[in-house]
């Protein structure tokens, strides 16, 4: 079978690669063509365009880059026509994918969606288009299945693929890891400032403003695969700050606490059982627009899944050095940390256990055979 997969950022690349591996177990003759990244490339097939070339953050940035986005949409449609896949699999990335899905359905292609657009967070009116354009939807968050049920659209909850990604990774030896990256024996505070240039600029300066206040800890920046060290270097002004690229899971596995930009990383940090503070500061125009259309009580996946405040969220103007220090003190307090661990274990239970990629691959291949 021929599979055309469209993922749009680092997390989509990760989940796309795991889905591809699972599809190969179901279909040994699987042929892949995709929009994704390095991890998907390692599995095999043909990369059309890397997500690094089209990572735009926020409404203002999207508007500024509209000509480039429309050019990519046109390229994608032409490429799908030339490839003529048995199925198109969309992974998150709703702004781009829903436009392609509308066209693809009109062209009679089979359309599957893995990891739902966040219609449960804003613009629920998009559900109408999803019901029209998507043949099968596979969701990874338990509350999303219930959300779609309200709109009489049956979707399948398959569990969260991060559980597989974390469980299947090679375990790191902490002593060897510290030695390899020139880390000392001090406890580690991990800094996860995001993956896009703009969000890293917004987040990292404030995160690093705390370094001198914690001489008994060492701060380690988790470098995103989409950015080179040269981009981070100007921010690093203390010998108590280290940088490690493309080793976020290994870093989290040996960290005492973490300061994390809102996104998938908040859930990853929770699954590694690391107490965290969730941070977010964006372009002010984008933030003002988002504030008016997003209907959620929380922004972090941890709190959304648990439906209560498990991790503290510092958003926009609340994200400053004073507030961040106050919350970091709390998550370093031994008496407070126990609460995190209990909630994190409950969170993992809600996510449904291992096997998300395998379940999704099986259902996709089964539907193609039918």
Q: How many CA atoms lie within 13 A of 104 on its CB side?
A: 33
Burial class (CB in 10 A: 0-12, 13-18, 19+), 169: exposed
* Beta-carbon count within 10 A of 122 CB: 16
CB 5 within 8 A of CB 35: yes
What are the beta bridge partners of residue 156? 138
> In 3D, which of 277, 268, 335 has the Cα closest to residue 310?
277
Distance between CA atoms of residues 10 and 33, nearest Å: 17
Residue 30: φ, ψ to 5°: -60, 135
SS3 of residue 125 by DSSP: helix
Question: Quick one: pLDDT at residue 57?
Answer: 54
Which letter, b or e, does each residue of 16-26 get, where b requires 16 or more Cβ atoms within 10 Å of its Cβ? Answer: bbbbbbbbbeb
Burial class (CB in 10 A: 0-12, 13-18, 19+), 61: middle
Question: Quick one: pLDDT at residue 63?
Answer: 67
Residues of the chain with pLDDT under 50: 289, 292-293
Question: Quick one: pLDDT at residue 298?
Answer: 85
Question: Quick one: pLDDT at residue 297?
Answer: 77
> In 3D, which of 14, 24, 72, 26 has the Cα closest to residue 44?
24
Question: Quick one: pLDDT at residue 217?
Answer: 97
Which letter, b or e, does each residue of 237-263 get, where b requires 16 or more Cβ atoms within 10 Å of its Cβ? Answer: eeebbbbbeebbbbbbbbbbbbbbbbb
For residue 126, give Cα distances in angstroms to 10, 59, 96, 129.
24, 17, 13, 5
Question: Quick one: pLDDT at residue 286?
Answer: 55
Question: Quick one: pLDDT at residue 158?
Answer: 96
> In 3D, which of 251, 256, 298 has the Cα closest to residue 273?
256
3-state helix, strand, coil in the chain (%, to 5): 55, 15, 30
């Amino acid at each position: 079978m021929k599979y055309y997969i469209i993922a749009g950022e680092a997390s989509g690349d990760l989940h796309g690669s795991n889905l591809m591996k699972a599809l190969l177990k179901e279909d040994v003759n699987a042929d892949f063509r995709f929009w994704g990244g390095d991890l998907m490339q390692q599995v095999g097939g043909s990369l059309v365009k890397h997500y690094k070339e089209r990572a735009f953050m926020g409404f203002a940035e999207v508007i500024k880059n509209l000509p480039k986005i429309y050019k990519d949409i046109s390229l994608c449609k032409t490429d799908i026509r030339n490839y003529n896949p048995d199925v198109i699999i969309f992974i998150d990335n709703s702004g781009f994918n829903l436009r392609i899905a509308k066209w693809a359905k009109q062209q009679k292609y089979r359309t599957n969606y893995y990891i739902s657009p966040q219609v449960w967070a804003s613009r629920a009116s998009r559900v109408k288009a999803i019901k029209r354009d998507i043949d099968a939807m596979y969701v990874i968050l338990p509350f999303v299945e219930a959300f779609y049920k309200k709109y009489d659209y049956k979707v399948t909850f398959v569990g969260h693929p991060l559980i597989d990604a974390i469980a299947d990774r090679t375990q790191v030896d902490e002593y060897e890891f510290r030695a390899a990256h020139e880390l000392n024996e001090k406890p580690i505070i991990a800094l996860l400032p995001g993956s896009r240039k703009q969000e890293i600029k917004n987040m990292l300066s404030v995160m690093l403003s705390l370094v001198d206040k914690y001489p008994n800890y060492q701060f380690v920046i988790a470098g995103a695969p989409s950015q080179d060290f040269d981009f981070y270097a100007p921010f690093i002004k203390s010998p108590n700050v280290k940088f490690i690229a493309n080793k976020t899971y290994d870093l989290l596995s040996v960290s005492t606490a973490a300061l994390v930009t809102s996104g998938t990383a908040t859930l990853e940090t929770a699954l590694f059982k690391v107490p965290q503070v969730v941070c977010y500061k964006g372009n002010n125009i984008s933030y003002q627009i988002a504030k008016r259309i997003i209907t959620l009580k929380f922004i972090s996946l941890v709190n959304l899944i648990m439906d209560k405040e498990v991790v503290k969220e510092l958003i926009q103007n609340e994200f400053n050095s004073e507030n961040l220090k106050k919350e970091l003190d709390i998550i370093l307090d031994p008496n407070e940390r126990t609460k995190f661990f209990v909630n994190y274990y409950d969170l993992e239970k809600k996510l449904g256990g291992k096997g998300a990629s395998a379940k999704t691959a099986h259902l996709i291949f089964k539907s193609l055979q039918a």
